[in-house]
Amino acid sequence: MCEGLPVIGAKFPEVEVQTTHGKIKLPDHYKGKWFVLFSHPADFTPVCTTEFVAFQKRYDKFKELNCELIGLSIDQVFSHIKWIEWIKDKLGVEIEFPIIADDMGELAKKLGMISPYKGTNTVRAVFVVDDKGIIRAMIYYPQEAGRSVDEVLRLVKALQTSDKYGVALPENWPNNELIGDKAIIPPATSIEEAEQRKEACKKGEIECYDWWFCYKKLE
């Protein structure tokens, strides 16, 4: 593991941060909730502005999934405040979620958000953290390419669905080209289980391309 770069399945580092909503402690502040922490290179930049507008417009959809949003950059808090004022005044969108002012870069370094090859600003990192404070997914984008917020929302929904039903989800679920919105049953781990899958498929209880690739409709 690279120093400063956590891994999926690890506990999110405990840290107190200054945000536009005051000081909060992570991950305890969101205990019992999922949260998405996403970094942006800098305030008052065009690509970052488009991303923040997109996150805000989907904020209610994240909250429906018991998931909060929190942004981060190495700008100071007064810059964040002025920028979200500008977004509200010029674009008519009020940013309701907090933004971390990591002006010393301490949390950004812990999370591997600053690349020595991309300057001193944070890259576009995304961390999905579950209701137990465990990092469930990490995505890193370069500074020059904006993210798809719909994909982040889809990822949260997929992880929660996987937890609930004990299944895996296919590419672009729930709009996969092969099986649509159906879920993949974890592969058999023994000869006996493989035979059971074949029988279940014959009876129409599940669908299979083969015993190692079975899937079903969720409730």
Q: What amino acid positions are annotated as catalytic residues?
A: 48
- The contacts of residue 201 (CB under 8 Å, 6+ apart) are 207, 208, 211, 214
- Which DSSP category does 3 fall into? T
Helix (H, G, I), strand (E, B) or coil at 70: strand
For residues 71 and 37, give the distance between their C-alpha atoms in angstroms, rounded to a whole number. 6
CB 130 within 8 A of CB 136: yes
CB 88 within 8 A of CB 97: no
